[in-house]
Chains A and B, each alone.
Chain A
Amino acid sequence: MPKRELWASRLGVVLAMAGNAVGLGNFLRFPVQAAQNGGGAFMIPYFVALLLLGVPLAWCEWAMGRLGGSHRTGSAPGVFHLLWKHPAAKYLGALGICLPLGVLTYYLYVESWSLAYSFFSLIWNMIGRTSVEDFRAFLGAYQGGGHRLGVSAIGYLFFAITIGVNYWVMSGGIARGIERLARIGMPALFLMAIGLVVRVLTLDPPSGAPPEQNVVNGLGFIWNPDLASLRNGRVWLAAAGQVFFTLSVGFGAIQCYASYLRRRDDVVVTSLSASMMNEFVEVILGATIAIPAAYVFFGHAGTVEVARSGAFNLGFAAMPSIFLRMPGGAFFGWIWFFLLFIAGLTSSVALAQPAVAFLEDELGWSHQRAVRSVWIFLFLASHIPILGFAGGALDEVDFWAGTIGLALFALVESVIFLWIFGAERAWSEIHVGAEVRLPRPFFYVMKYATPLLLAGILAAWAWQQGWDVVRMREVPPEARPWRWAARLMLIGMIAVTVALIRRAWARREKST
């Protein structure tokens, strides 16, 4: 039996896990969410969700993954089967493979935009575009607007390059591929982000702009609290969603990475380290770049419009226009987009790993065969969100795999770990090899608050809008075919994964 890989160093694990969590959302989604949901007041529900949902779920996923790894299984079907001796358990684990793969089918495309824009930022002057509207039109054309196939040639080229880079990293394995990427990529990302923060904090208002259009008021745009917003349930849901998304809990990726730990490696401090490193990037660095810079150049009203237009427009239309107006803009523009690419790359390899681990651990495939198969599949499956981008296919996959699916999988794993496997056993498992003991109140948070909150979020969604979303009530008829294609793709992925799980367990029984 070939030896299962292990992480080479503790810092490498922390950086790889932080790389898994740090993504495009830290720099684009968070500042927009904060600005749209009460400013500084948003941080109150954000920290509550971090304490009650994000950090406890991360501890559970790390502990489950490490336990699975000591039994040579790193994906959710094997881990769930270990925790719950019920025939259904392994099939529920299919979600832990399909959700990250589903998210990857569109995430890779967005990641490829960052790579493309890092090159474009060096030649913006030659393209002759300056205003946000110019860049919005450029982004639309890049995304395939007006093209017969729904994708531009240059967009497709960078997508193919992105697939190739991901494949190359993952073919190196855990220690020599993913960990090496994290050890080089994450410090580089920190340095680039800190460099951008310094640049933004030293920005002078453009000539002719009123003096109040400065970076301090730009920070105020994000941090000045609107305490009345705390009475709005939507703000609390937005905060919970952001915490979920940013820590990458509920994907199955943390569980899979943790399976490459040794049995007695600490998960309490190590998990918290990765989570806090992600928070440092999001709250301190991410919030201090895009929105404050937009405020300096566009003023209050312009920033309101930019924040309303969403994360993609902020990152790929407003930011290029800002960089063109600042001294050294081409260089800082390159840094911004390359930073987004590194953030995306460290996340995308993490999202692909559960499928690779499943093929290796449960079906006995060689590493190269598993990596090759997963990336060929991803290349092909990504065509649905890419070609159906204008038809809403990307949004549809994001909604089911990247929003509802995450909460559902997190609920399933917390119930299996804390209620079926047992809260006391789970608590002991988390503390195997732990450097510090968690305060006992976290036991009750994990056992009661986390699953109840997750169930509440899902129930509220199902009650308020579930059926309308399922039957696409607000989607115009002409946009429905691509959305159905996206749904069928996800259903097909689940069906194939269930069939493979069945085959893997038949193989297990044969060998015992």
Chain B
Amino acid sequence: MTRAGWILMGVSWGIILVLTGWCLVRVLTSRQHWQNPKEDIAHLEHGEFGPPPDRD
């Protein structure tokens, strides 16, 4: 393998490993409410469109 090959492989692996690691740490340590599946979400907003329509 040439030096340029090693550099391209190293840079590509580096970018991907750093970003994947950063994301995984955030995902595994986040304290957002979806870590608590039993939380009541009825009070949460539904964006500018208002609550969902009742289809039945």
Binding site for B on A (CB under 8 A): 1, 6-11, 14, 39-41, 43, 47, 67, 70-72, 82, 216-217, 219-220, 223-225, 261-266, 269-270, 272-273, 276-277, 279-280, 283-284, 364, 425, 429, 432-433, 435, 507-508, 511-512
Closest A residue to B6 by beta carbon equals A223
Check B4–A266 contact: CB distance below 8 A.
Answer: no
Return the 10 tightest CB-CB contacts between A and B, nearest first. Answer: A220-B1, A40-B8, A273-B23, A224-B5, A223-B5, A276-B20, A71-B52, A223-B9, A72-B52, A263-B44
Check B20–A279 contact: CB distance below 8 A.
Answer: yes
**Contact indicator per residue, chain B 1-42, by CB within 8 Å of chain A (1) or not (0):** 110111011001101110110011011101011110100010
Among candidates A11, A263, A508, residue contacting B55 with C-beta atoms closer than 8 Å: A508
Check A272–B56 contact: CB distance below 8 A.
Answer: no
Contacts of B55 in A (CB 8 A): 1, 72, 364, 507-508, 511
- Chain B binding site: helix, strand, loop or mixed by DSSP? helix
- Interface size classification for chain B: 35 or more
Contacts of B23 in A (CB 8 A): 269, 272-273, 276-277
Least Cβ distance of B43 to chain A in Å?
10
A229 and B24 alpha carbons, distance in the complex (Å): 35
Among candidates B1, B19, B24, residue contacting A223 with C-beta atoms closer than 8 Å: B1
Contacts of A276 in B (CB 8 A): 16, 19-20, 23
* 10 residue pairs from A and B, CB less than 8 Å apart: A1-B56, A6-B37, A11-B27, A40-B12, A223-B8, A225-B5, A262-B34, A262-B44, A364-B55, A511-B55
Check B5–A40 contact: CB distance below 8 A.
Answer: yes
Check B46–A70 contact: CB distance below 8 A.
Answer: yes
A454 and B13 alpha carbons, distance in the complex (Å): 27
Q: Beyond A272-B23, A276-B23, A280-B20, is A435–B5 a contact (Cβ under 8 Å)? A: no
Least Cβ distance of B10 to chain A in Å?
9
Check B4–A40 contact: CB distance below 8 A.
Answer: yes
Closest A residue to B21 by beta carbon equals A276
Contacts of A70 in B (CB 8 A): 46-47, 52
Check B33–A435 contact: CB distance below 8 A.
Answer: no
Least Cβ distance of A279 to chain B in Å?
5
Among candidates B37, B45, B53, residue contacting A512 with C-beta atoms closer than 8 Å: B53
Contacts of A261 in B (CB 8 A): 34
Closest A residue to B18 by beta carbon equals A276
Closest A residue to B26 by beta carbon equals A269
Among candidates A11, A72, A364, residue contacting B28 with C-beta atoms closer than 8 Å: A11
Contacts of A433 in B (CB 8 A): 32
Closest A residue to B50 by beta carbon equals A71
Least Cβ distance of A291 to chain B in Å?
13
User: Assuming A224-B4, A265-B32, what are 14 further A-B pairs, CB within 8 angstroms?
Assistant: A11-B28, A14-B27, A40-B12, A71-B52, A72-B53, A223-B5, A223-B6, A223-B9, A225-B8, A263-B45, A276-B19, A276-B20, A276-B23, A277-B20
Check B34–A9 contact: CB distance below 8 A.
Answer: yes
A43 and B6 alpha carbons, distance in the complex (Å): 13
A433 and B35 alpha carbons, distance in the complex (Å): 14
Check B32–A71 contact: CB distance below 8 A.
Answer: no
Check B19–A8 contact: CB distance below 8 A.
Answer: no
Check B49–A272 contact: CB distance below 8 A.
Answer: no
Contacts of A273 in B (CB 8 A): 20, 23-24, 26-27
A46 and B12 alpha carbons, distance in the complex (Å): 10
Contacts of A14 in B (CB 8 A): 27
A188 and B17 alpha carbons, distance in the complex (Å): 19
Check B8–A43 contact: CB distance below 8 A.
Answer: yes
A41 and B4 alpha carbons, distance in the complex (Å): 9
Least Cβ distance of A57 to chain B in Å?
17
Check B33–A264 contact: CB distance below 8 A.
Answer: yes
Contacts of A7 in B (CB 8 A): 34
Q: Beyond A10-B32, A10-B34, is A71–B46 a contact (Cβ under 8 Å)? A: yes
Q: Beyond A266-B30, A269-B27, A435-B30, is A216–B16 a contact (Cβ under 8 Å)? A: no
Least Cβ distance of A288 to chain B in Å?
10
Contacts of B8 in A (CB 8 A): 40-41, 43, 223, 225
Most buried by B among A10, A72, A223, A224: A223
Check B30–A47 contact: CB distance below 8 A.
Answer: no
Among candidates A1, A40, A511, residue contacting B9 with C-beta atoms closer than 8 Å: A40
A6 and B17 alpha carbons, distance in the complex (Å): 30
Contacts of B34 in A (CB 8 A): 7, 9-10, 261-262, 265
Closest B residue to A270 by beta carbon equals B27
Check B16–A279 contact: CB distance below 8 A.
Answer: yes
Check A47–B32 contact: CB distance below 8 A.
Answer: no
Check A10–B27 contact: CB distance below 8 A.
Answer: yes
Closest A residue to B4 by beta carbon equals A225
A270 and B24 alpha carbons, distance in the complex (Å): 9
Q: Beyond A219-B5, A266-B30, is A67–B20 a contact (Cβ under 8 Å)? A: no
Check A283–B20 contact: CB distance below 8 A.
Answer: no
Most buried by A among B41, B47, B49: B47
Contacts of B56 in A (CB 8 A): 1, 364, 511
Contacts of A39 in B (CB 8 A): 5
A508 and B53 alpha carbons, distance in the complex (Å): 9
Least Cβ distance of A60 to chain B in Å?
15
